[in-house]
Structure 1
């Protein structure tokens, strides 16, 4: 076994040395790594380092022989059926990320009673020799629409930071029972979670409750069928669990087909009994610069409801990558 040198990639900017080793040599223990650093056997650009040293793209990492570290087992090939299914969901892709149009009823991640979910299908999006793609955020199982996937851990970290920093603009469409009054505004209603796991319930809470979390949603009525049903544009300004579903219920307009919130009122006769909440558009800072704007077409059950009510959604715009006023398009949206 010989000494090798490995170059830090752009995707690995500012990663700690120990996390870099964990990514490339997952069977190397933290204790063994610390010992190698103390002895000077691991070096960066020829200099001694500690395990918490931050790496810069282009730096050379000296890697001594690692006799006690077995190579990780090769990843198994993806299930062909699941691979085809998730590939059909892709509405935008480039070398950094993918955007899926997740169907209603498909969970994002696993949990009690969940046997199929997006996370288990991501191997079907892996490029040859590339990393396994990673979820950046989640949407509810019953919610349809945009789901962001990073191709590499570094891109996932950048996009997750954008979500935490609220540099992401999320737009949802919903069909609700009733008509909001006023027809637009901001719902500023704290929320609290009762229970845990899949059985957890989110409720509107008073501001002085110990477990209450601040939650705000901007809403706008785009069309209405009298006072019976309305089409709302929802923009969450915070990211609480079930926020949009509880907020719309809190102003007396529960989302049509909601299996958990709104009670009997959320299930009007004559309409498909499935949650009418759709992650319509995502506007994010692209990890390579500029911004990416992607829009997902309405799911079949909401298209049917729109036709019944006479709501006109218009055309679904193609994905747009904006760089200083110019744009480039990835794969176009499904029609």
Structure 2
């Protein structure tokens, strides 16, 4: 097995996992006080309902053990809290946009996002996002926050990445899912078409991921751990074509552009990934009929060849492990078939 490693560090940077983590050591002179009331005074912009949901989901622990809402904090208690991030300070317009809902119950729903849909409203993308659609769809739920903020999301995927996302429908479920993301117990599998043919069938890429000093839109791997956040990607080669390979990637951490940055770092950028250099012919002679073939493949899939294929986690209320799969979208399948036909010639 190939192995690319560096040392762990806790720098601050972007992440696709939308949670925050707190650690509080109770003062020596603290009087006995219910834990929800104690935390209300110390965590800004957190509602009591959200805190109680976090306590019930065991996302709040005292001295490394879960407690009940009625627990009274004592001097020198060490409290750790994992919460879904507070909503962004942005008005979100509810929009009746069709959603591909794979599964839904009282606590959560699974959405299969199409490529091209932005997850969060931001500059130049205030409308037509997944959050706009969810704000409309979940408009009668408390987590919709009356049309403001980020309804129920505890993770995200890139605009041009397709595939599965889990959305919570209650404060309790948001806290429960956020804890699993923090503990790295969520199972996430991606399929990627990459340039080149990895020598090893399987491998692990470990390297800090942080923003490039040359272009803030691009994430760079810092192998010495000097910047960024610790990131781990496990990969497995599913099929080797002549000049590209279909690879399965499993995320241990969830950093922005993690797979895209990590695969480029080991010399295998994602096919058709303009931001990371994958929209040029990186294998084979860039001329003649082969050049025409690759350019036509780029036209079939004018975005990075990355799909969030599966998602597995423990359900907030049943406490059973559930798993979901998403079929490859048409553009991804079409490019794979094109490479298969080319190889067969």
TM bucket by the smaller chain?
0.5 to 0.7
CA distance in 1, matches of 2:306, 2:192: 5
Residue deviations 1:284-320 (CA, integer Å, cap 9, x gap): 1110111110111212210211222349xxxxxxxxx
User: Under a length normalisation based on structure 2, what TM-score does the superposition of the two structures give?
Assistant: 0.63
Which structure is richer in relative contact order (CA contacts within 8 A, separation 6 or more)? 2
Residue deviations 1:141-166 (CA, integer Å, cap 9, x gap): 11110111000122111101110011
Which stretch shifts more, 121-130 or 173-182? 121-130
- Residue 161 in structure 1 maps to residue 176 in structure 2: no
User: Under a length normalisation based on structure 1, what TM-score does the superposition of the two structures give?
Assistant: 0.65
Q: How many residues were matched structurally?
A: 247
**Correspondence for 1:299 among 308, 314, 329:** 329
CA distance in 2, matches of 1:141, 1:253: 21
Residue deviations 1:63-112 (CA, integer Å, cap 9, x gap): xxxxxxxxxxxxx9x85xx43412xx111111110000011111111222
> Could you tell me which residue of structure 1 aligns to residue 309 of structure 2?
280
Contact 2:121/2:131 (8 A) holds in 1: yes
Residue deviations 1:179-214 (CA, integer Å, cap 9, x gap): 112131111233232359x9432112131x531432
Seen in structure 2, the aligned counterparts of structure 1 residues 25 and 158 have a Cα distance that, compared at 3 Å, is: closer
> Could you tell me which residue of structure 1 aligns to residue 222 of structure 2?
205
Greater C-alpha Rg? 1
CA distance in 2, matches of 1:91, 1:215: 29
Summarize the alignment of residues 253-332 of structure 1 with structure 2, pairs less than 5 Å apart: 253-265=268-280, 268-271=294-297, 272-288=301-317, 289-310=319-340
SS of alignment partner, residue 200 of structure 2: coil
**Correspondence for 2:167 among 140, 149, 166:** 149
Seen in structure 2, the aligned counterparts of structure 1 residues 115 and 131 have a Cα distance that, compared at 3 Å, is: closer
Structure 2 stretches of 5 or more lacking a match? 1-33, 51-66, 71-90, 145-150, 283-293
Structure 1 stretches of 5 or more lacking a match? 1-13, 27-52, 57-75, 312-335
Provide the aligned C-alpha RMSD in A: 3.3
Seen in structure 2, the aligned counterparts of structure 1 residues 310 and 130 have a Cα distance that, compared at 3 Å, is: same
Which stretch shifts more, 122-131 or 286-295? 122-131
CA distance in 2, matches of 1:162, 1:129: 23
